[in-house]
């Protein structure tokens, strides 16, 4: 019995291949290395917080940070076009601020002429300064929704219901866009407002048939005005062209008559000067020139002196065509 106890005491004690503290240290180091790197997507920027304090922002790509929760990373989609919808909701949205809690109340508005209108619109924006977007305003998405609704109600409240439904849509969009940009800059939201777009603007359901009739009547009126303007633009230029043509023809005839009169006056003056110098010669020349113009136009003329009593023996009759042939 003593021998067996002695043999047992001589055997070596069993030991683990690696100690538990060493394994814990290796596991701790691996977790630290794993949590020391992070990746920012292509359409985002990363905001680095160290113990909750803003340090800096990083561009897309792979970056290093302090592990074990010392640095915290917030991804902000700065390159993504985001939108807010008022009065309606598009299924499948990812932005939590895109749709309001009460769309029916959002789109119900009072116009400047104390009528009611249902206005649906969209605000498109992009986060350009993520540090301001996260830390300068407590809830920037909700704040942007509130000021967008306030500006739309203010602009709609300054116009009549006819302007909102028909011809004033573009002006409303432009005015709301300008005011939203000013407020976003004043509140330091860190966003850029790109577009304000009215989707559907309708009167309340009970009066929609009457408004539709009014719209059709206004469209018919505009159509008739356009047709009349087309006829006017077609007839007036043609009449003006004809008037200009007649005026130019009259001007040409006037210049012609004036030039002819001036030429006749100059010719008469020159003949008069010659007549004053030699009356008889000039008179004879004028007489002969006149005969030269008149006689070729006469078929056959016989000139006889008044003193002649009998003209038959004196005038040979013109030969007939047969005699002329002989």
Whole-angstrom distance, CA of residue 190 vs CA of residue 188: 5
Give 119: exposed, middle or buried? Use CB within 10 Å, 0-12, 13-18, 19+.
Answer: buried
Whole-angstrom distance, CA of residue 123 vs CA of residue 22: 58
DSSP H or E segment with residue 319: none
Whole-angstrom distance, CA of residue 12 vs CA of residue 184: 78
Beta-sheet pairing, 108-110 with 116-127 = antiparallel
Residues 231-247 have a mean pLDDT of: 91
248-289 pLDDT, tens digit each: 999 999 999 999 999 989 888 888 888 888 888 888 888 888
Give 108: exposed, middle or buried? Use CB within 10 Å, 0-12, 13-18, 19+.
Answer: middle
Q: What would the two tokens of residue 25 be?
A: 């240290």
DSSP H or E segment with residue 13: none
- What is the pTM assigned to this prediction? 0.58
Residue with tokens 């109340």: 105
Q: What would the two tokens of residue 13 be?
A: 């004690």
Residues 197-213 have a mean pLDDT of: 83
- Answer with the residue of higher pLDDT: 153 or 14: 153
- Give residues with Cβ within 8 angstroms of 131, minimum separation 6: 47, 54, 57, 190
């Amino acid at each position: 019995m003593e021998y067996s106890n002695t043999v047992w005491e001589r055997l070596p004690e069993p030991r683990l291949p690696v100690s538990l503290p060493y394994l814990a240290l290796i596991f701790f180091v691996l977790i630290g290395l794993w949590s020391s790197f992070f990746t920012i997507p292509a359409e985002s920027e990363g905001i680095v917080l160290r113990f909750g304090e803003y340090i800096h922002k990083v561009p897309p790509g792979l970056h290093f940070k302090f592990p074990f929760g010392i640095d915290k990373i917030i991804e902000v989609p700065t390159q993504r076009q985001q939108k807010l919808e008022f009065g309606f909701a598009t299924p499948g949205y990812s932005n939590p601020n895109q749709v309001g809690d009460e769309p029916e109340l959002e789109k119900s508005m009072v116009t400047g002429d104390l009528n009611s209108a249902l206005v649906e619109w969209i605000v498109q924006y992009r986060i350009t300064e993520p540090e301001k977007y996260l830390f300068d305003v407590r809830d920037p998405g909700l704040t942007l929704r509130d000021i967008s609704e306030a500006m739309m109600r203010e602009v709609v409240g300054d116009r009549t219901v006819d302007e909102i439904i028909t011809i004033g849509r573009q002006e409303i969009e432009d005015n709301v866009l300008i005011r939203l940009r000013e407020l976003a800059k004043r509140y330091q939201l860190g966003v850029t407002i790109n577009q304000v777009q009215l989707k559907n603007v309708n009167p309340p359901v009970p009066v929609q048939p009457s408004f539709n009739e009014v719209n059709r009547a206004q469209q018919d009126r505009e159509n008739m005005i356009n047709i009349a303007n087309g006829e006017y633009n077609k007839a007036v230029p043609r009449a003006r062209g004809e008037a200009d043509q007649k005026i130019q023809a009259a001007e040409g005839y006037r210049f012609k008559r004036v030039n002819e009169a001036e030429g006749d006056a100059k010719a008469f003056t020159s003949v008069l000067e010659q007549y004053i110098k030699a009356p008889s010669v000039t008179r004879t020349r004028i007489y002969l020139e006149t005969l030269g113009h008149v006689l070729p136009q006469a078929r056959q003329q016989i000139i006889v002196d008044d003193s002649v009593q009998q003209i038959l023996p004196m005038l040979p009759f013109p030969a007939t065509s047969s005699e002329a042939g002989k």
